[in-house]
Amino acid sequence: MFSTSLIALAAAALVSAATPPGFQPAGQGALIVSYGGIAAMNGVNLPKESTAKVPLIATEQPLQGTYAILMIDMDIPTNAPPQTSTLLHWAQTGFTSAQTPMVLNSTAGPKTVYVMQNLAQQPPLAEYIGPNPPARAPLAHRYAFVAVDHTQITQQGLGALSQAASERRGFDAVRALAAAGLQMNAAVAGDYFIVRNTGPIRDGSGNGSGNGTVGGGQQQQQPPPPASPAQPGGGLGQGQPVPGQPGLGQQQPVQGGGGTQNGNRPAAGSATYGPPGRVGVMGLSLAVVAVVFMGLA
């Protein structure tokens, strides 16, 4: 099946699109990459703004089976220039080729293509990151695309491919396919384009992705927000109830004392506590006089 797809793609290719020289696994067939009508093929230079969103992927002949699309930056700066590393920008499985062709109008001219579709809505193994080369050598970055036939992949192999895709920095496509149990000839089509940082080159280290989403530095801790000012009437002792503590902060009647703290009249027959009244003083005086008279008798 692989050889049939390769022959069909090579025979019908109207352009010499393929993975860039030196990239492995090399996709020999033409993979069509279009960003909103802007053709991203054959090493063309594109502004990064035009490549911010997921592109349309297509081929010039329908493919049989299920495919993964890998997008890899081949020119990530390191701290030992001119040595470079790689960065996985996108890994999406579950693509199938539409059986009905469509005319794609792009900057490369109109072309009849078969669009690659993710009909099963498979989630990406690595979400798309738009190109954003940093101001470090090399300023020009090559972004390689490769279509990999994974029709016969096992569940274990898919797990291995997912694990490999989780390590974006230093991504090795050959090793990832081998871990997934896929052969090199599973890469049936490819393409690439270039995005360039206009410079000047700046000193300093970084992850090379230019967007801080992969391997970036630690985030600065933010100071805690200032405490909210006390609300009028809030707090204990200011007439506000406290959840779970009934009575705290509220004036409550004094039980068993007859009197209250809020001026209510005591109930009939209840005892009262307070200073003696005028009647009590007169009674005491009469008692003293009676004792005196009894002593004289």
Q: Is residue 159 a part of any domain in this protein? A: yes
Q: Is residue 157 a part of any domain in this protein? A: yes
Instruction: Tell me the per-residue pLDDT of 174-225, one tens digit each, with 9 for 90 and over.
Output: 999 999 999 999 999 999 999 999 999 987 654 444 543 343 333 333 444 4
- Cα of first residue to Cα of last residue in the chain, in angstroms, is 142
pTM exceeds 0.95: no
Q: Is residue 190 a part of any domain in this protein? A: yes
Residue 110, pLDDT above cutoff 50 = yes
Q: Is residue 23 a part of any domain in this protein? A: no
Q: Is residue 6 a part of any domain in this protein? A: no
Q: Is residue 237 a part of any domain in this protein? A: no
Q: How many domains does the chain have?
A: 1
CATH classification at residue 59: 3.90.280.10
On the question of a cis peptide bond just before residue 226, with omega within 30 degrees of 0, the verdict is no
Q: Is residue 120 a part of any domain in this protein? A: yes
What is the domain range of residue 102? 29-196
Q: Is residue 266 a part of any domain in this protein? A: no
